[in-house]
Amino acid sequence: MVRIAFEKIMAGMEDALAYADGDASRGTIHQVNVADVDITHLREKLGLSQDRFAALFGLSARTVRNWEQGVRHPEGPARILLQVIDREPEAVMRALHVGVQEMFDSQAGLNVAEGKVPYRAKRSKWSTD
């Protein structure tokens, strides 16, 4: 069993080295294309100010402003986060341990947008503040 595992690992290493040397037949690229998100539209759809949006989703207010003004553009994980916020804001809030049930009013949208639910950012145990 160990020998079989070793042989599979070696075959994978050989494929990786061959691919790195230009032999595209020995590997497959899996690339995820993440569409751009109109941050201003997303934020307004949720009924949030820049500061509230930033606080709720663990971003800096300056970053949100820079994105909206076109000074900078979200890249990598930020693009993915924005895509998930656009499609499933409740899931992101659940993941961030924000009380979704208290925040969402089935008829009016986000309660935090109206200031009905106070939001306090949780401090990370790694925070240096």
Judge whether 93 lies within some domain: yes
What are the tens digits of pLDDT across the range 18-53? Answer: 988 888 887 777 777 888 899 999 999 999 999 999
Q: Which domain holds residue 18?
A: 1-31
CATH of the domain at 73: 1.10.260.40
Judge whether 16 lies within some domain: yes
Same domain, 62 and 22: no
| Distance in angstroms (rounded) separating the CA atoms of residues 49 and 54 | 8
Q: Which residue type sits at 52?
A: R
CA 85 from chain centre, in angstroms, equals: 7
Same domain, 43 and 24: no
Same domain, 27 and 59: no
- What region, left, alpha or beta, does residue 61 occupy, with left being phi > 0 and alpha being psi -120 to 50 degrees? alpha
The pTM assigned to this predicted structure is 0.56
What are the tens digits of pLDDT across the range 9-21? Answer: 999 999 889 988 8
Is-contact 13 23, C-beta < 8 A?
no
What are the tens digits of pLDDT across the range 94-121? Answer: 888 755 555 554 444 454 444 544 444 4
